[in-house]
Structure 1
Amino acid sequence: MEKIDSFIILKFMHPFRLLFLIFLVIPLIEIYFLLVIGGIIGPLPTIAMVVFTAVLGAWLLRIEGFHTWFRLQQSMAQGKIPALEIVEGPILLVGGALLLTPGFFTDFLGFLCLFPATRRKIARYLLNKWLVQRVSGRPGGPGEQGPRTIEGEYRRKD
């Protein structure tokens, strides 16, 4: 019983540890870059750059969102499954949120999510690594062992 309880705690602890590190490490990286760049070019140009990247990111998000929406509609009109476009949508949202967050590190990550080439690579990775493997029954996630066969007998009573 104790073994099961510790397994459950470790299993649920992992995402919280990851989130804790994200919310701790990313702001520290942002503060570091803001201080370093602010020390080199001054505080007002640094603030101007942060505002400029937010405006540029919002503009780029709008354009790329329309392109993705158009490709989604084209795929559906041709009778194809728009899997890549469906996965690209949330990536665009995350990229836009990262660009609106003040800082240079999150801007870099946000632009990676908005540029078509890197966004498609991220989307293909997510499709291949997580979604396709889970649907096909192959191992795809942590703790997943693959398809299980349950043997038994069946009798029909009329």
Structure 2
Amino acid sequence: MRWLLLAFIIVPAAEIGVFIWAGGIIGPWWVIGLIIFTGIVGVSLARKEGFEAWRRGQTAINYGQPPGDAIIDGICIFIGGVFLFAPGFITDIIGFVLVLPFTRDPFKRMLERLFRKWAEKGTIIYRRW
């Protein structure tokens, strides 16, 4: 919980610093335009990738396989979409990393390790086939 509180303090302060820095270089209206543009593109991309993960999960279920990878992809895409929806360049970078398929893999593996750790503690039941 302390990490979350610290993130709610540090991330907005860093975003404001980046806004001021970027505004001094390219101008405030360009910064506003970039924020709106990255938000629209990011949320659209998250929506597209989310539907793709949903489709892969349904296909796996239809073939009698567990949709484990699709679920983890969906979690990453959802978190990335939330970051992309938040205004700011730092959150946009994190969001795009979580939404784009070729940069998502390290985070998927991290989530799998976290789920296994929780499963060993008995917090959740997780099984990868």
For the criterion TM > 0.5, the same-fold answer is: yes
- Displacement of 1:121: 2.5
Q: Percent identity?
A: 37
Tell me which stretches of 4 or more aligned residues in structure 1 moved more than 6 Å.
none
Partners of 2:47 and 2:98 lie apart in 1 by 13
Partners of 2:95 and 2:79 lie apart in 1 by 7
Partner of 2:115: 131
Cα RMSD over matched residues?
1.8
Partner of 2:126: none
Choose which of 51, 64, 70 in structure 1 pairs with 2:49.
Answer: 64
Partner of 1:119: 104
Question: Could you list the runs of 5+ residues in structure 2 that have no partner in the other structure?
Answer: 124-129
Deviations 1:35-84 (A, max 9, x none): 11110000101100000000001110111011111111111122211111
Deviations 1:95-152 (A, max 9, x none): 111111111000000101100122233122211x1222443x3x799xxxxxxxxxxx
Partner of 2:127: none
Q: Secondary structure at the match of 1:53?
A: helix
Matched, 1:24 2:9: yes
Closer, same or farther in 2 for the Cα pair 1:140/1:18, shift >3 Å? farther
Closer, same or farther in 2 for the Cα pair 1:90/1:102, shift >3 Å? same
Normalization by structure 1: what TM-score?
0.72
Q: Secondary structure at the match of 2:57?
A: helix
Aligned partners of 1:113 and 1:119 also within 8 Å: yes
Letter in 1 for 2:105: R
Normalization by structure 2: what TM-score?
0.87
Q: Map of 1:8-157 to 2, 5 A cutoff?
A: 15=1, 17-127=2-112, 129-135=113-119, 137=120
Partners of 2:122 and 2:23 lie apart in 1 by 44
Give the total of aligned pairs: 123
- Displacement of 1:20: 1.8
- Displacement of 1:91: 1.8
Partners of 2:31 and 2:7 lie apart in 1 by 24
- Displacement of 1:26: 0.1
Question: Could you list the runs of 5+ residues in structure 1 that have no partner in the other structure?
Answer: 1-14, 142-158
Partners of 1:77 and 1:54 lie apart in 2 by 34
